[in-house]
Amino acid sequence: MSIIVSCKGVQVGEFWIPPFEIDEGKLVGFFFHGDHTVVELQNYLIDIFAGKKPCEGIVVHQPLNKLSLYKTTWKDYFFPMTVKKFISSYIDKSLFDENLGFLEDENLKVRDLLPGQQKLLLLYKELSQTNKIVFNLDGSDPISLEFLLKQVRTSLNKQGGVYILMDHFDYKKNCDKYYEIKMIK
pLDDT tens string 90-148 = 888 777 656 666 666 778 898 888 888 888 888 888 888 888 988 887 777 777 777 78
Q: Please say whether the beta carbons of 111 and 70 come within 8 A.
A: yes
Q: What is the pLDDT of residue 104?
A: 65
Task: Give the per-residue pLDDT at 97.
Answer: 58
| 20 pLDDT more than 90 | yes
- Give the whole-angstrom CA distance, residue 20 versus residue 60: 12
**Averaged pLDDT score across all residues of the chain:** 84
- From CA 99, how far away is CA 108, in angstroms rounded? 16
Q: What is the pLDDT of residue 101?
A: 64
Higher confidence at residue 68 or residue 134? 134
For residue 19, what pLDDT band results from cuts at 50, 70 and 90?
A: very high
All structural domains of the chain, each given as residue ranges with its CATH number in brackets, are 3-183 (3.40.50.300)
* The pLDDT value given to residue 103: 62
pLDDT score for 9: 92
- The DSSP code for 104 is G
Residue 168: half-sphere exposure toward Cβ, Cα within 13 Å? 15
Q: Of 162, 180, 156, which Cα lies nearest the Cα of 170?
A: 180
CB 32 within 8 A of CB 38: yes
**pLDDT per position as a tens digit, 156-167:** 888 888 888 777
Mean pLDDT for 40-67 is 90
Region 42-65: mean pLDDT is: 91
